[in-house]
A and B are shown apart, each in its own frame.
Chain A
Amino acid sequence: MSSFADESIISDFVAESREHLATIEPDLLRMEQEGAKVSAEVINRVFRAIHSIKGGAGFFAFDALKRLSHAMEGVLMQVRDGKLKVAADVMDVVFASLDRLKAMLDDIQASDSVPFTQELAKLEAILNGQGVAVGEMVKGREKGATREFDLDAESVRSALRRGMNLFRAIAYLHRDIRDKGLTPLAFLNNALSVGTCLDAFIDVEAIADLEHCLEQDLPVTLLFASVLEPDLAALGLKLPVDQVKVMEVEALRKEVKAKAKAEQKVVAVVAATPPEAEPEAEIPGDLPAEEKTTREVTKDTGNETLRVRVDLLTNLMNLAGELVLGRNQLVRAITDSQHEIPGLGAILQNVNQVTTEMQEGIMQTRMQPIGTVFSRFPRIIRDMSRQLEKQIDVHIEGAEVELDKSIVEMLVDPLTHIIRNCADHAIESPAERQKARKDPTGTIHLHAFHEGGQINIAVHDDGRGIDAKKVLAKAIAKGLVTKAQGAEMTEREMVHLVFEPGFSMAEKVSEISGRGVGMDVVRTNVEKLGGHVEMETELGMGTTVRLRLPLTLAIIPSMIVGVADHRFAIPQVNVVEFVWVKASEVSQRIEQVQGALVLRLRDKLLPLVRLADVLGLQRVFENPETGEQLPDRRVSLADRRGELPEEPDNATPRQGDRRTDWRSDHNIIVLRVGKNHYGVIVDELFDIEEIVVKPLSGFIQGTKCFSGATILGDGRVIMILDAGGLATVANLHFTDLQAEELRRAEEEKRSAALKASRRRSVILFEAATGERFAVPQDHVLRLERIVKTKIEFIGEREYIEYRGEGLPLLRLDQHLAVRPLKAELQELFLVIPKIPGQSSTTRPPAGILISEILDALDVEVELKAVEFTGPGLLGSAVVQDHLTLFLDPVALLQAAGLMGGVA
């Protein structure tokens, strides 16, 4: 008996387990009916449900529940692995155990007092390979006595209260079912459409011996409740009238009592401790059901909440949507006559507002913070760490993130499994952690956050991580993948094998987790929600499991777009921006890279798809002349002819060309898929509307392009585009584009470097008036001001005294086709060139005479050859709006023969 578990957690566990049991029953029936043909999915579903119950029971220390579900799980595992055939006797035991589980869950605190040893013994007998023996035992016990219905007193009572008749109907498998072209399932479905089936069994006793059982007709006996009169019930069940008999309540009472007595007797023999309070089977009419109901109600009060069925809320939501629709129509219909009736405007406004608020309110009823799930984990971890003798801390972040209720509920199972796995397998014992030089206390980090319109949940532990190679080896051993497949797998893919059904990581089977159904459950449940699971792990460092979930069922603002005559909704969270490319700009902005359309957007390459193409719709364009819609047959946007075609002389000239007409402008919506962006070309953009996502039929989910459908304000149904699916269907290669982008970025860098190399620091000066020159600064050693009178002549050559020595002077006009310096200037400047390879103290070979220094600046120029290029000119360029000649002083000096011995 649990001493530590919190009341509310336990009641959650009970509610979940009941749900599990409710789903199991039809699946078990299907297993029995379809035998070996039953799909693995069904068996897995049952198995996982029982496993969940077992996990919870083990955790909360409900011993009876745990032992029984554990044994059931064992049997089901043998069935799943094909070691055990789904025979009727096996299923008898499974069903009986299932009923016991239900009884235990009905009063969980007293669950240990529910007798179950008999079922347990049978399950264990099956597990020990005595399935047949057990079957005989069961048969032996029942020999001679007609089999009785397993009665659920509550359902009988409720049926009678609703004025239903109870029937014992016998259907023969061959005569009544097969020969009428029905399958047993169809028969049962039919039966369920006219009433309620309370119990059914196949009377194996009626068969003389096993060898002839196939030829013989098997009678199926149904306990059937329906409002129909006996003859109509027979008609509804498609059975001969004599096979459907009304049951007397008196007879029923006897049967139930007899059953209860028999049970008590058996239990008294088998069980060491007789049950204290085997609930007396309540007979309809005997005891009113009120007592039990009141007890339940009082239990739930205390907080200001009320349990409401989700389908009720869903229905309300639909109705609210309808109401909005009706309101819109009403407003439209009476807008014109509004002024004729005084006060109508105010009434309309009131209706309007109330409707909107009601719709919003109903929407909100479905939202719940994820914290309702998270809050249970610290307790679970605390208790688990005590059981496992580990030290574990839990950190929770983002508990306030809100999700649709159904999603929150569906997350309980997967998250619990992940958390249990973390505590049970991932986090090492304190001793182990210390050996690995880690903090002896392990940490589990739960983090929920919104990102891109999705809910992200990350569960991180700092445990031992997962060894990808071990996972692969195990998967190969289990036959999940072949060796050849394994050889081609990335490490990531190997790790993700743990999500495969039937994979088990744990070395030993523990009661809490570890039969390898855990991660399978996680993936199945999350994918059912339209979500996605990923796992990252680093050996020795820890593992992170990431869940990405959509916000389906919630109201989402969406952009309505039009393509051809179809409309679609794009959730706004996927929309990054909207780009409008004018028809005349198409050739500059849209191009083809490796056969795919791309848009150049702020130095990024954005893959483009045409929505019409991805969805296989006929593109249309509006003829600029007539305005009619014509099919568009152009294949590519980028390859459009740049030049207008030459019109034959006699052809009537086109009035407007589609390539430049505004109607050919492109509306591009940039969408986000994870880290990647891409553009979708649509024809038209409409409003942004708040839409309610409605799930798609399984028939349509295969298209991958749509995440749901919705109903617009005008009542029309439109599809909601799935940005991720669209990218997949369009076969976008983001990585190729990234490579291309990288290439371009590098090119850009190179050209920038090239540009930089063209940048020069120059000294700008004038020789004759208006004739400008520039000398790169790195060619100049010094600039000196001199007075004209200081210039001395030796022969034809001019000299000046420079640092105690004669420095030859050079005039530009003597060597280049330029005008001489103005003669009247008294003050001149001298450029002392820098000779490469010489230090600044070496005597310079010569100086160049100039008239005035204008500026020293950085210019970015591309030098052009000058027609009168003589030796000593680098070229010309326009600097500060003047044509400027760039000098190469060294070459100039060489040409003048002034370099002397200097190279």
Chain B
Amino acid sequence: MSQFATFHVGDRLFGLDILGVREIIRVFNITPVPRAESHIRGLINLRGQIVTILDLAVRLGHEALPVKDSSHIVILKHGANTAQGNGRNQGGTQDLMGLLVDAIGDVVEAEASLAEAPPANLTDAEERFLSGVLKTDEGLLVLLNLQELLSSG
């Protein structure tokens, strides 16, 4: 059994292996980065470290969602897997990444091996970033492909 941190983006419930999650924080003061790709929501200061925030909705090919009271940032354990970042920073503290989500859900236990392939009616972006679907008590849990999510491009 694996544990999944779950969160909502739009009307969908997404899951990430909890081992890949460093912490979950409330949204505050995101500094936007001009000229960056649209799925870069901006930067935040997490206790003296700069964290790059990805807008999960945009990354999956949807409209950016406004920050609400329920919005949270899921800070990931592993740094981004970009051309510049994978040399010295691997697993390091420099390239911290976070995902902006609409709301967070419970931690769900499920057997990862039971995951089914994602449905066929996906956008290109979704096809790339989703790794599977799990049926849980909470409903359908869409699993994210963290590695793809954190690779640039």
Contact = CB atoms under 8 A, between A and B. Distances in A.
A812 B95 CA distance: 94
A615 B35 contact: yes
A318 B96 CA distance: 14
B94 interface: yes
A698 B82 contact: yes
B31 A311 contact: no
Main secondary structure of the interface of B (DSSP, over half): loop
A718 B32 CA distance: 9
B47 interface: yes
Interface residues of B, number: 48
A703 interface: yes
Contact of A318 (B2, B49, B80): B49
Contacts of A315: 93
Contact of A716 (B2, B31, B49, B82): B31
A697 B113 contact: no
Interface string A789-803: 000000000000000
Interface string B25-68: 00001011111110010111101111010100000000000000
Contacts of A325: 48
A787 interface: no
A186 interface: yes
B112 A711 contact: no
Contacts of A238: 2, 112-113
Interface string A715-732: 111110000000001000
A699 B112 CA distance: 29
A704 B2 CA distance: 41
A183 B152 CA distance: 19
Contacts, number: 120
A843 interface: no
B147 interface: yes
A314 interface: yes
Contact of B34 (A186, A616, A716): A616
A93 to B, nearest CB: 26
A702 B42 CA distance: 14
A528 interface: yes
Contacts of A23: 87
A617 B131 contact: no
B33 A711 contact: no
A321 B48 contact: yes
Most chain A beta carbons < 10 A, residue from B33, B40, B83, B132: B33
Given A181-B132, A190-B19, A697-B97, A318 B48 contact: yes
Contact of B43 (A180, A189, A717): A717
Nearest to A719: B33
Contact of A186 (B35, B40, B94, B147): B147
A41 B31 CA distance: 33
A637 B95 CA distance: 40
B115 interface: yes
A695 interface: yes
B50 A716 contact: no
Nearest to B42: A717
A318 B1 CA distance: 37
B93 A699 contact: no
A694 B152 contact: no
B84 interface: yes
B113 to A, nearest CB: 5
A183 B87 CA distance: 20
Interface string A225-260: 000000000011010000000000000000000000
A698 B95 contact: yes
B45 A717 contact: yes
Contact of A701 (B84, B96, B147): B84
A780 interface: no
B77 interface: yes
Nearest to B86: A698
Contacts of A235: 1-2
B10 interface: no
B93 to A, nearest CB: 7
B40 to A, nearest CB: 6
A663 B77 CA distance: 47
A236 B147 CA distance: 18
Contacts of B79: 697
A583 B90 CA distance: 51
Nearest to A725: B35
Most chain A beta carbons < 10 A, residue from B34, B37, B43, B97: B34
A703 B35 contact: yes
Contact of B29 (A615, A617, A705, A717): A717
B93 A314 contact: yes
Nearest to B29: A716
A709 interface: yes
B28 to A, nearest CB: 9
Given A235-B1, A698-B152, A700-B52, A705 B34 contact: yes
Contacts of A697: 52, 79-80, 82, 85, 95-97
Q: Which 7 A-B pairs have the closest CB atoms?
A: A698-B82, A615-B34, A698-B85, A318-B48, A697-B52, A698-B84, A717-B31
Interface of A: 23, 26, 41, 45, 179-181, 183, 185-186, 189-190, 193-194, 235-236, 238, 311, 314-315, 318-319, 321-322, 325, 528, 566, 615-617, 694-706, 709, 711, 715-719, 729
Given A694-B49, A698-B152, A711-B45, 6 more contacts: A190-B17, A318-B48, A616-B34, A696-B52, A719-B31, A719-B34
